[in-house]
């Protein structure tokens, strides 16, 4: 099994520096590409690879890049931005890549920026990732010193500078347009789409925003080709993915697996199965913004289409396991607390609806639920759902609530009737 | 482009450049909304205006969209009534009300609250939320605005108006989630000259008119009268509200081509002068003894009968009053009550406006290039300054067309513009309010600025590509040249406009003038004041609503035989007068001002008090009749006086156009509160309505429905001022300069030496308002 994303990552060891990364074959793709392959050719290769956005959306990366207007149509600055603002609850896959192999990301940025003809790149990295920030700054400096950043790189006529920007700590900055506002020094609130960032992005200029993991895939696709990448997946899926498991499993963590690996295999083999005394009840497959998958469905493949077929989303691919000894209402209340707190305050349903949801769930858990609460929560899942709010934050928050209301109906009702939490 | 859409099965006319919300409201349909504002555009934050649209004939499911964010296309099928959409709209109101305090009984906005209206529209009646509300501390925002943050429903209109529209930076939004807070970094008076608009921009009672709240009455308990702001030459349309003969507040009166939705703070809060201690309510003689009105008229008649009577007019008095004085003393003895310097500027302005197209405020706001010459418009004509800021900040039309972003899509348009602005070029003596948005700023002496104006005109004519200002104007489609400060400068600006017109550029001129009726007075053909000084020894001087000491008068005044001053405020001139006659002000009389665009606008008696005094023109008429100078039936009504004025001074004839409606308009509101008499707390019997035959407005609640003159807007279910968005705009205004002269010759530069300018003084009426005084001291 070939695992390109983590091939340089050794647990407990410092990441490779520039020289070490080059010795491991790093930056070969840059040398083979800059000035030697047309940018459009790189875009085509990525489009054919089937790579989807790893930030949670799964939108085909190649198509995103193709939406950039040509340089001739839109002269002036163009930006390539790495979304490293990893704040999804239960998600720590980008951190593994940032801390484990920073040069892989830098190489991916150089190739991606070359493909979309951007001359400035920003890495918008979560402020709490202090170790990653230091490693990235060092990696940028080393690469610059080696002549792979700056003006006319490798005499290709291609210029690129990379800036590491530490975020100030808002979940909403993971939303690409809120990220752009924040990067511009404005309030971190999402922008209306359309226009998409590809036409009207950072400071109004053409801009691509890609997730860390997405960008880390680029050197391997460029080096080895789309067919090779497609062949990495299982069961017709393309590539590998950093998956992860948290909760009461024996070996919580993040690990690279072929796209399409069954969830049960991921939990039982790679995460070591449930801790003794705990039984798996349900799983949020890809962070807090995805819906529950019940135990009966965990043979599902970890892939974007397979999850969609279940009415769910793969999200970030880092699963949170709910066990039988944790109150599902408390679990949901805790998630909703996060979303209510991280609502940017821009649109009314999210800003004023999520706190109501949180308070209602907490009241139910504390035995203070009343008749009508479930009906209210159910209404909220529609009124804070897709198409109703300004961005995807509240609809993401509603995914777990909606499935939770369906799957844990009995638990909700027993809380309300018994006026107490049966788990206490 | 006109097209049709189908809303709930009914064909509704639409414009391609309007969004779906605006389209529905204009068609009289009810779609609730909060964050949208016609002047601020759409941002899609409140999610209140959800409707369902259908993709094609076969689409039965449809999808819920925000009407404010949806462009209209021919044949678009829409449902407002759709059950899911209606349920969602109700839920949005329910959600924003979770933190709203329901303090309507003690809220100044209760009864004219957009939030109340929208709540009723959605049908939301029952509160389900049982948890604690979030609460905030309020801030002291100064003497104009009271802050009640707990009422906030987070529509973001305040911050969008204050920062994005009005360019303020001391007010903003803080925090996130349900804790978002709209205020200042610390307590303190709001610095923007347009802060008062927050009162009308806010859909509920977060920002309250503080002076009004001390004399508060419900909207339905006040008489509301259409009026014209007297505090500068812009002449914004306002509504004056009173109850029991006491002034209560000024609110904006929408006029699409003038002030639109916004006023400046001087206009909104300056009108307090009519209740100031220095209001002159009684006539008096030299010894300070109070005289009856009849005795004062008789005394004036006696003065008029003397030899050598000189009249000094005023740019803050109405056309009618200036005309009455001019007729009584004779045109040869009628002098403009302004300094010679200002008089020269006014004469140059009139000369220029007669040959060049004049820019309305809307023209300036929509201009794609502005050249500002001379004075900072902010202190002179604040509302114009705000319009010029829009001209700069409006995202360039070509850019939006290229990105396929509609102009109403404020968020996207601002993102796309990314700070790119239309060309505003400032050439001035001192820093101006527009410097931060200007593409070019030039600082020089007054003389150099005027010379530069003439030079730019020459460069335009010569098609000289080396002058950036000239090239920018020439490349623009609808540039406006704004000038104020000296006669030479005004003429130079006019030359630029003339030169551009000759090249086929649709340029317009805007002249900054200081006072409400500067243009009206300039059209009176009054003699310059300096010509009066040698003649005033042993003359009888009648001064109309004017503190002549502000106009260059000095010790020579002591030599007059008799000084008569008619005024409504107690000025140094009134104190020096042998006979001071109390007259009415704009709020308690009828009259006409001609604004800086040459727009003739009539104001009507709005306040009916117990000790009201007549307008100056009525006092002068009565004295003229008593003196035997005018026939006993002369100027019996306001209309009759305007007839005489039109016959005598053709330049002002258009002031006499009939008001744009046929029937009498009511000024008293309907008695929604179920009371019988308006003063039922004193006497349950209905008092006789005040008689005021002169005005086309009635003094009762009887009368015709809405027209442009409608003092306060109401629409079924819409009790707040935002009902204006559901009503058609009214008849066109009257412009006195409507026929620019094609190929008019250029103006010659006035010969040197140019006169020295006196330092400007603050506008004298608003300076007496207690709110303005408090703000100055804040």
DSSP one-letter string for B450-494: HHHHHHHHHHHHHT-TT-HHHHHHHH-SS-EEEEES-HHHHHHHH
Does residue A164 share a domain with residue A23? yes
Q: Residue B134: list chain A partners with CB under 8 A.
A: 355
> Residue A273: is it exposed, middle or buried by C-beta count within 10 angstroms (0-12/13-18/19+)?
middle
In a domain, A423, yes or no: no
Whether A398 has its CB under 8 Å from any CB of chain B: the answer is no
pLDDT at residue A122 greater than cutoff 70: yes
pLDDT tens-place string over residues B641-664: 999 999 999 999 988 876 654 567
pLDDT at residue B709 greater than cutoff 80: no
In a domain, A59, yes or no: yes
Mode of pairing for the β-strands spanning B50-54 and B63-66: antiparallel
CATH number for the domain spanning A364: value is 1.20.1440.230
Does residue A136 share a domain with residue A73? yes
In a domain, A191, yes or no: yes
β-pair partners for A246: A320
Domain span at residue A47 reads 4-230
Number of domains into which chain A is organized: 3
Please report, for chain B, the start and end positions of each structural domain, with discontinuous segments joined by +. Answer: 2-96, 114-275, 283-343+520-656, 344-516
A345:B153 CB<8 A: no
Q: Nearest-CA neighbor of A319 among A89, A94, A96?
A: A89
Averaged pLDDT for residues A312-337: 97
Please give the structure tokens belonging to residue B74. Answer: 């021919």
Does residue A347 share a domain with residue A279? no
* Sequential DSSP letters for B416-443: HHTT---EEEEEESS--TTGGG-SEEEE
How many Å lie between the alpha carbon of A119 and the closest alpha carbon of chain B?
A: 18
In a domain, A235, yes or no: no
In a domain, A302, yes or no: yes
Last residue of a domain, one of A323, A344, A364: A323
In a domain, A424, yes or no: no
Which among B99, B128, B403 has the least Cβ separation from residue A352? B99
Q: Residue B50: list chain A partners with CB under 8 A.
A: 388
pLDDT of residue B558: 80
For all residues of chain A together, what is the average pLDDT?
97
The C-alpha atoms of residue A239 and residue A220 are separated, in whole angstroms, by 10
Cβ atoms of residues B493 and B511 within 8 Å: yes
| CA diameter of chain B | 91
Mode of pairing for the β-strands spanning B369-374 and B334-335: unpaired
User: Which overall architecture, per CATH, does domain B283-343+520-656 show?
Assistant: 3-Layer(aba) Sandwich (3.40)
Q: Map residue A178 onto helix, strand or coil.
A: helix
Does residue A304 share a domain with residue A180? no
Query: In B150-178, which positions are buried (b, 16+ CB within 10 angstroms) versus exposed (e)?
Result: bbbbbbbbbbbbbbbbbbbebbbbeebbb
pLDDT of residue B673: 53
Does residue A245 share a domain with residue A217? no
Residue B240 φ/ψ, nearest 5 degrees: -100, 130
Q: Model ipTM? A: 0.95
pLDDT > 70: what percent of chain B?
97
Averaged pLDDT for residues B130-150: 97
Last residue of a domain, one of A265, A299, A323: A323
Q: Nearest-CA neighbor of B195 among B211, B179, B218?
A: B211
pLDDT tens-place string over residues B158-201: 999 999 999 999 999 999 999 999 999 999 999 999 999 999 99
Does residue A370 share a domain with residue A298? no
pLDDT tens-place string over residues B351-406: 999 999 999 999 999 999 999 999 999 999 999 999 999 999 999 999 999 999 99
Cβ atoms of residues B450 and B486 within 8 Å: yes
The C-alpha atoms of residue B726 and residue B716 are separated, in whole angstroms, by 9
Higher pLDDT, residue B555 or B529: B529
CATH number for the domain spanning A247: value is 3.10.20.600
Q: Map residue B495 onto helix, strand or coil.
A: helix
Q: Residue B44: list chain A partners with CB under 8 A.
A: 192, 347, 390
In a domain, A136, yes or no: yes
The C-alpha atoms of residue B466 and residue A224 are separated, in whole angstroms, by 57
pLDDT at residue B674 greater than cutoff 80: no
Cβ atoms of residues B155 and B206 within 8 Å: no
Q: Which fold has domain B2-96?
A: Ubiquitin-like (UB roll) (3.10.20)
CATH number for the domain spanning A94: value is 3.40.50.11540
The C-alpha atoms of residue A411 and residue B83 are separated, in whole angstroms, by 31
How many Å lie between the alpha carbon of B123 and the closest alpha carbon of chain A?
A: 17
The C-alpha atoms of residue B341 and residue B349 are separated, in whole angstroms, by 13
Does residue A174 share a domain with residue A308? no
Please give the structure tokens belonging to residue B196. Answer: 């008062």
Higher pLDDT, residue B726 or B188: B188
pLDDT tens-place string over residues B326-350: 999 999 999 999 988 999 999 999 9
Q: With the CA atoms of A273, A275, A276 and A281 taken in that order, what torsion angle do they form, in degrees rounded to the nearest 10? A: -80
Whether A351 has its CB under 8 Å from any CB of chain B: the answer is yes
Mode of pairing for the β-strands spanning B63-66 and B145-147: unpaired
Does residue A279 share a domain with residue A191? no
Whether A353 has its CB under 8 Å from any CB of chain B: the answer is yes
pLDDT at residue B78 greater than cutoff 80: yes
Does residue A382 share a domain with residue A310? no
The C-alpha atoms of residue A100 and residue B89 are separated, in whole angstroms, by 49
In a domain, A22, yes or no: yes
User: Which overall architecture, per CATH, does domain B344-516 show?
Assistant: 3-Layer(aba) Sandwich (3.40)
pLDDT at residue B707 greater than cutoff 60: no
pLDDT-derived band at B757 (thresholds 50, 70, 90) equals confident
pLDDT-derived band at B738 (thresholds 50, 70, 90) equals confident
Last residue of a domain, one of A190, A206, A230: A230
A343:B178 CB<8 A: yes
For all residues of chain B together, what is the average pLDDT?
92
pLDDT-derived band at B2 (thresholds 50, 70, 90) equals confident
Does residue A135 share a domain with residue A71? yes
Does residue A155 share a domain with residue A69? yes
pLDDT-derived band at B244 (thresholds 50, 70, 90) equals confident
Averaged pLDDT for residues B5-19: 96
pLDDT tens-place string over residues A257-298: 999 999 999 999 999 999 999 999 999 999 999 999 999 999
How many Å lie between the alpha carbon of B65 and the closest alpha carbon of chain A?
A: 7
- Give which of B95, B150, B180, B405 to mutate to test A binding, by max A Cβ within 10 Å: B95
Whether A341 has its CB under 8 Å from any CB of chain B: the answer is yes
Does residue A378 share a domain with residue A316? no
Contacts of B492 (CB under 8 A, 6+ apart): B373, B450, B451, B452, B453, B454, B456, B457, B483, B747, B749
pLDDT tens-place string over residues A162-183: 999 999 999 999 999 999 999 9
Please give the structure tokens belonging to residue B484. Answer: 């104020």
Q: Residue A385: list chain B partners with CB under 8 A.
A: none
């Amino acid at each position: 099994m070939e695992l390109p994303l983590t091939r340089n990552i050794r647990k407990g060891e410092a990441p490779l520096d520039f020289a070490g990364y080059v010795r491991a074959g790093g930056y070969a793709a840059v040398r083979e590409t800059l000035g030697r392959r047309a940018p459009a050719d790189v875009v085509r290769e990525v489009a054919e690879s089937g790579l989807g956005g790893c930030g949670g959306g799964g939108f085909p990366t190649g198509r995103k890049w193709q939406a950039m207007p040509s340089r001739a149509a839109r002269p002036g600055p163009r930006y390539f931005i790495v979304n490293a603002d990893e704040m999804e609850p239960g998600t720590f896959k980008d951190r593994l890549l940032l801390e484990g192999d920073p040069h892989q990301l830098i190489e991916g940025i150089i190739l991606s920026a070359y493909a979309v003809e951007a001359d400035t790149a920003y890495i918008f990295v979560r402020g709490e990732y202090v170790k990653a920030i230091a490693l990235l700054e060092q990696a940028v400096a080393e690469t610059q010193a080696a002549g792979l950043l700056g003006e006319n790189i490798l005499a290709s006529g291609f210029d690129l500078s990379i800036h590491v920007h530490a975020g100030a700590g808002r979940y909403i900055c993971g939303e690409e347009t809120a990220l752009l506002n924040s990067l511009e020094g404005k309030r971190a609130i999402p922008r209306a789409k359309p226009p998409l960032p590809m036409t009207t992005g950072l400071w109004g200029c053409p801009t691509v925003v890609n997730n860390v993991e997405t960008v880390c895939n680029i050197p391997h696709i460029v080096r080895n080709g789309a067919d090779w990448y497609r062949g990495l997946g299982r069961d017709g899926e393309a590539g590998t993915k950093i998956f992860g498991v948290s909760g009461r499993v024996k070996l919580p963590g993040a690990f690279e697996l072929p796209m399409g690996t069954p969830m049960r295999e991921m939990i039982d083999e790679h995460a070591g199965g449930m801790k003794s005394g705990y039984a798996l009840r349900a799983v949020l497959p890809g962070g807090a913004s995805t819906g529950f998958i019940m135990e009966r469905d965990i043979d599902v493949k970890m892939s974007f289409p397979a999850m969609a077929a279940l009415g769910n989303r793969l999200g970030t691919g880092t699963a949170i396991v709910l066990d039988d000894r944790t109150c599902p209402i408390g679990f949901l209340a805790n998630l909703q607390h996060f979303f209510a707190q991280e609502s940017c305050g821009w649109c009314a349903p999210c800003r004023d609806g999520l706190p109501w949801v949180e308070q209602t769930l907490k009241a139910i858990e504390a035995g203070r639920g009343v008749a009508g609460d479930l009906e209210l929560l159910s209404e909220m899942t529609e009124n804070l759902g897709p198409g109703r709010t300004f961005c995807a934050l509240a609809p993401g928050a509603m995914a777990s609530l909606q499935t939770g209301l369906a799957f844990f109906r009995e638990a909700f009702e027993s809380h309300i009737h018994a006026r107490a939490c049966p788990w206490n | 482009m006109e097209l049709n859409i189908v809303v709930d099965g009914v064909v509704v006319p639409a414009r391609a450049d309007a969004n779906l919300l605006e389209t529905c409201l204009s068609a009289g349909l009810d779609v609730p909304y909060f964050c949208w504002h016609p002047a601020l555009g759409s941002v899609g934050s409140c999610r209140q205006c959800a409707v369902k649209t259908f993709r094609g004939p076969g689409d039965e499911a449809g999808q819920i969209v925000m009407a404010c964010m949806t462009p209209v296309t021919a044949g678009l099928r829409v449902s407002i009534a759709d059950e899911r959409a209606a349920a969602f709209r109700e839920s949005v109101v329910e959600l924003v009300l979770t933190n709203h305090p329901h303090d309507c009984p003690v809220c100044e906005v209760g009864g004219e609250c957009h939030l109340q209206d929208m709540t009723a529209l959605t049908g939301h009646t029952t509160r389900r939320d049982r948890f604690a509300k979030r609460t905030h501390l309020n801030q002291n925002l100064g003497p104009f605005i009271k802050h009640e943050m707990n009422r906030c429903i987070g529509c973001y209109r305040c911050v969008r108006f204050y920062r994005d529209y009005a360019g303020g930076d001391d007010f903003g939004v803080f925090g996130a989630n349900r804790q978002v807070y709209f205020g200042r970094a610390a307590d303190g008076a709001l610095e923007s000259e347009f802060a008062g608009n927050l009162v009308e921009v806010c859909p509920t009672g977060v920002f309250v008119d503080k002076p009004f709240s001390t004399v508060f009455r419900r909207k339905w308990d006040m008489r509301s009268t259409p009026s014209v702001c007297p505090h500068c030459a812009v002449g914004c349309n306002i509504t004056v509200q009173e109850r029991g003969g006491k002034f209560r507040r000024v609110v904006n009166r929408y006029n699409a081509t003038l002030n639109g939705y916004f006023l400046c703070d001087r206009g909104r809060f300056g009108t307090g002068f009519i209740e100031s201690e220095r209001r002159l309510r009684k006539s008096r003689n030299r010894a300070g003894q109070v005289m009856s009105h009849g005795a004062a008229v008789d005394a004036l008649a006696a003065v008029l009968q003397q030899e050598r009577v000189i009249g000094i007019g005023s740019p803050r008095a109405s056309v009618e009053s200036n005309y009455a004085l001019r007729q009584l003393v004779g045109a040869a003895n009628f002098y403009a009550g302004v300094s010679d310097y200002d008089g020269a500027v006014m004469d140059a302005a009139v000369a220029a406006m007669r040959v060049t197209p004049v820019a309305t405020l809307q023209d300036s706001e929509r201009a794609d290039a502005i050249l500002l010459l001379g004075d900072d418009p902010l202190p002179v004509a604040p509302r114009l300054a705000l319009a010029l800021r829009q001209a700069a900040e409006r995202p360039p039309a070509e850019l939006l067309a290229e990105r396929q972003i509609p102009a109403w899509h404020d968020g996207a348009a601002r993102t796309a513009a990314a700070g790119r602005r239309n060309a505003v070029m400032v050439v001035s003596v001192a820093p101006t309010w527009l410097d931060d948005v200007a593409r070019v700023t030039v600082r020089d002496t007054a003389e150099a600025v005027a010379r530069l104006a003439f030079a730019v005109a020459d460069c335009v004519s010569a098609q000289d590509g080396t002058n950036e200002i000239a090239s920018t104007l020439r490349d623009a489609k609808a540039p406006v040249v704004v000038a104020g400060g000296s006669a030479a400068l005004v003429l130079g600006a006019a030359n630029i406009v003339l030169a551009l017109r000759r090249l086929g550029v649709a340029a317009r001129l805007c002249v900054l003038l200081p006072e409400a009726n500067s243009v009206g007075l300039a059209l009176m053909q009054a003699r310059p004041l300096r010509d009066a000084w040698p003649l005033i020894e042993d003359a009888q001087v009648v001064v109309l609503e004017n503190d002549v000491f502000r106009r260059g008068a000095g010790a020579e005044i002591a030599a007059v035989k008799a000084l008569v001053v008619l005024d409504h405020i107690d000025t140094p001139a009134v104190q020096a007068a042998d006979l001071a006659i109390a007259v009415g002000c704009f709020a308690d009389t009828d009259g006409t001002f001609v604004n800086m665009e040459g727009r003739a606008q009539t104001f009507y008696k709005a306040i009916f008090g117990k000790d009201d005094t007549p307008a100056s023109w009525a006092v002068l008429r009565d004295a003229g009749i008593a003196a035997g100078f005018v026939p006993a039936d002369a100027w019996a009504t306001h209309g009759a006086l305007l007839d005489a004025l039109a016959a005598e001074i053709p330049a002002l004839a258009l002031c006499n156009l009939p008001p744009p409606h046929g029937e009498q308009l009511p000024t008293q509101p309907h008695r929604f509160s179920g009371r019988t008499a308006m003063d039922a707390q004193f006497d349950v019997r209905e008092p006789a309505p005040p008689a005021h035959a002169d005005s086309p407005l009635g003094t009762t609640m009887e009368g015709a429905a809405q027209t442009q003159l409608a003092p306060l807007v109401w629409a079924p279910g819409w009790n707040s001022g935002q009902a204006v968005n559901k009503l058609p705009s009214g008849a066109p205004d009257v412009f006195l300069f409507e026929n620019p002269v094609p190929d008019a010759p250029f103006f010659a530069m006035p010969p040197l030496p140019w006169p020295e300018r006196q330092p400007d003084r603050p506008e004298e009426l608003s300076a007496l308002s207690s709110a303005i005084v408090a703000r100055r001291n804040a």
